[in-house]
Amino acid sequence: MNPILKKSIDLIQNRIRETAHLCGRDTNEIQLIAVTKKIQPELIREAIGCGLITFGESYIQESREKIASISDSSISWHFIGHLQSNKAKYAVKLFNLIHTVDSIKLACELNRQAQKINKVQDILLQVNVGMESSKSGVSPDDVLDLAIAIGSLSNLKVKGLMTIPPVYNSPEMVAPYFQNLRKLQDIIRNEKIPNIDMKELSMGMTGDFEVAIREGATMIRIGTAIFGERG
Ligand SMILES: *Cc1c(COP(=O)(O)O)cnc(C)c1O
């Protein structure tokens, strides 16, 4: 048992519980995804020993090696980085959930690769709520059309939306972006598109996860607060 890691994880879990309590939400509807990009397998194994079960990776090459070396079927891996179509075949083999689908081209390739291995791949649609040119994600105006188009791909299952808001010094500044993601979730949900489930909202990181929980996050992606600064 790594006592420093254990303490960080306990602290985060307490903050999640407290925030959920303050806004009248059930802690069980908020999933903690431990972000392990640039974190060595040894430390990830220790995090598993502390009870964490869901991990997020950002780079295909790095995650292929790590997931193989950790080789633990009781945990679940999520892909949270930018995904290129030519890496789709690895992504469907490695990940239980892909958070970052933002184009029909990528969706079609994931569908094709998932079909090859007889899998229905769970995905989220990444929305660029801040309309930043530096960030991936479909624009808020186009997300409904993307959802409708993906609804007809039989080897993909849309579970919800994901976003990375613009960076601000104060976490309160990002609240409107989280609120916008939630509004988009409602809009898409009201369309009742076959094969589209809008249960999940993946939003919130180390600096702003409490705001995200308040605004309805069901998945928060936390790296630094668990593992420390990445080297
Ligand atoms: C790195 C990363 C995180 C974790 O960020 P921290 O600030 O270290 O908690 C969350 N989401 C995505 C998409 C990331 O790339």
- pLDDT at position 127 is 98
Atom of ligand 1 nearest to the CA of 164: 13
**Residue-level pLDDT at 21:** 98
Q: What is the mean pLDDT of the chain?
A: 97
What's the rounded Cα separation, in Å, for the pair 203 and 208?
9
pLDDT tens, position by position, 109-124: 999 999 999 999 999 9
Residue 231: band (very low, low, confident or very high) from pLDDT cuts 50, 70, 90: confident
Residue of 35, 129, 164 to test ligand 1 pocket, by largest number of atoms within 8 Å of CB: 35
Domain 3-227 falls under CATH 3.30.9.30: no
Task: Read off the amino acid at residue 170.
Answer: S
Whole-number Cα distances in Å, 36 to 62, 205, 208 = 10, 13, 18
pLDDT score of 80: 98
Q: Where are the domains of the chain?
A: 3-227
Token readout for 50 is 């502390």
Q: How far is CA 165 from CA 20, 135, 172, 225, in A?
A: 21, 9, 12, 18
Query: With 90 as the cut, is the pLDDT of residue 162 above it?
Result: yes
Q: What is the 192 CA–ligand 1 centroid distance (Å)? A: 31
User: What pLDDT is attached to residue 180?
Assistant: 98
Ligand 1, residue 225: give the atom nearest the CA: 9
60 phi and psi angles, rounded to 5 deg: -60, -50
Please tell me the predicted confidence (pLDDT) of residue 209: 98
In this prediction, residue 140 carries a pLDDT of 98
Can you give the pLDDT at residue 135?
Answer: 94
List of E strands, 82-230: 97-101, 121-127, 156-163, 196-202, 219-222
Task: Say whether 138 sits in a helix, a strand or coil.
Answer: strand
- Contact call for residues 138 and 107 (beta carbons, < 8 A): no
Give distance in angstroms: CA of 22 to centre of ligand 1: 24
Q: In this predicted structure, what is the pLDDT of residue 150?
A: 98
Q: What is the pLDDT of residue 78?
A: 98
Ligand 1 atom closest to Cα of residue 162? 13
Distance 41 CA to ligand 1 centre (A): 18
117 CB neighbour count, 10 Å cutoff: 11
Nearest in space to 2 (alpha carbons), one of 48, 40, 37, 36? 48
Q: What CA dihedral angle connects 158, 223, 175 and 193, to 10 degrees?
A: 0
Q: Ligand 1 center to residue 113 CA distance, Å?
A: 27
Pocket of ligand 1 (CB under 6 A): 35, 37, 58, 80, 164, 205-207, 221-225
Q: pLDDT digit string (tens) for 49-105?
A: 999 999 999 999 999 999 999 999 999 999 999 999 999 999 999 999 999 999 999
Question: If pLDDT is split at 50, 70 and 90, which confidence band does 1 have?
Answer: confident
Spacing, Cα 152 to ligand 1 middle (Å)? 31
Q: Could you count the other beta carbons within 10 Å of the beta carbon of residue 91?
A: 26
pTM: 0.98
Instruction: Give the integer Cα–Cα distance in Å for 170 and 179.
Output: 16
Q: Give pLDDT, residue 115.
A: 98
